[in-house]
Homo-oligomer: A and B are copies of this chain.
Amino acid sequence: MSQATMSGERTVHVPLDGGRDYDILIGRGILDEAGARVKALGGRAAAIVTDETVAGLYAQRVRTSLEAAGLRAGIVCVAPGEASKSYATFAQVCDGLLAEKIERNDLVVALGGGVVGDLAGFAAAVLRRGVRFVQAPTTLLAQVDSSVGGKTGINAPLGKNLIGAFHQPRLVLADTATLDTLSSREMRAGYAEVVKYGLINEAAFFEWCEAHWPGIFAGGPERDEAVAICCRAKAGVVVRDEREDGERALLNLGHTFAHALERLTGYESARLVHGEAVGIGLALAFRFSARLGLCPGQDAGRVANHLALAGLPTRLQAVPGGCGDAEALLDAMAQDKKVRDGRLTFILAHGIGRSFIAPGIEAADVRAFLEDELAAG
């Protein structure tokens, strides 16, 4: 990862090859620049894809900005929530974009959280065999994670994100003022992904988070700074390993546990949202690393303490309604990834900022760890 600076830099460039490089613009109020920025990309029309919640807050403002720049602009609106990452809503969005007469040189603007970004990005990837799109993420999670890197897609009945495309945006507009309308629960959930970047390979950023996290939540300059640092970190990983043949897997730190918890809670956001599951997953990844003698127990404690301070869950017992026993958790993990000869691949850590890909972890070790975690009550 390139050294993250703590400077005032608010543009992150993603230098992908083949003319696919793009900028991530971060700042309060930049949604109002949408028109000028999208116009600069060429094309004569743009369609905003959003959900009913975000539409009421920001869609008209973005549309006005697009029209003021001389673009024909329309809005395609879907129901909020993970259930919209379905085949049916995908068809609805595609047909909506066609009804808005989006041609090969026009643009799709994904305005919303991760669901909207994944869904609209996938529709753009396959509309007329590919049109360009802009990410305008309005949640912290989307600003620091899902809007950057080109993974788009929908869920299938057999699993999440199983249908999709690698389709890089042409621009990301991360208006950090939109986070002011986010619930504190969604804000915390996004913050788990922020902390993750420090834990992966940037101990200094984790330390900075420990000192500055209230500013991120309050909307001070620390928020823009944190989003920029996370985007720069993710952009670096994506440029080096776009298709996740190697290093990009590090971004899954905490996610093997998190995905199992989400599966066992039926993806019910009332019980657990993704970022909360990641909070527990990060704490578990560090405690498991410590248990295996890979990581100082002190680091695992420090990680859990900071997550808890920010209001995130860090224990399996924190899952409302429970998460099943160790065997159920292990089964749920096995569905998420290949188990070969009783061994799994995890992202573990030698310490804060020192994560690594650990193939060959014994399922028996995972089971024993989970049993002890659950027994610890």
Q: A residues near B, CB below 8 A? A: 87, 90-91, 94-95, 98-99, 103, 122, 125-130, 151, 153, 156-159, 162-166, 338
Contacts and interface: CB of A to CB of B under 8 A. Distances in A.
A346 to B, nearest CB: 19
Given A126-B164, A165-B165, A158 B87 contact: no
Contact of A127 (B91, B95, B122, B162): B162
A123 to B, nearest CB: 9
13 contacts: A87-B87, A94-B156, A94-B162, A94-B163, A95-B156, A95-B157, A126-B126, A126-B153, A127-B162, A129-B153, A129-B164, A129-B166, A130-B165
A122 to B, nearest CB: 8
Contact of A95 (B103, B125, B158): B158
Given A94-B156, A128-B162, A130-B165, 10 more contacts: A87-B91, A95-B156, A95-B157, A95-B158, A98-B158, A98-B159, A126-B163, A126-B165, A127-B162, A129-B164
A91 B127 CA distance: 16
A289 to B, nearest CB: 27
| Secondary structure call for the A interface | mixed
Given A87-B87, A87-B91, A156 B126 contact: no
Contacts of A164: 126, 128-129
Contacts of A122: 126
Contact of A158 (B99, B158, B165): B99
A244 to B, nearest CB: 9
A99 B125 CA distance: 24
Contacts of A95: 156-158
Contacts of A166: 129-130
A90 B154 CA distance: 13
A364 B360 CA distance: 71
A103 B162 CA distance: 10
Nearest to A127: B163
A165 B99 CA distance: 20
B129 A151 contact: yes
A153 B127 CA distance: 10
A156 B125 contact: no
Given A87-B91, A91-B87, A151-B129, A98 B156 contact: yes
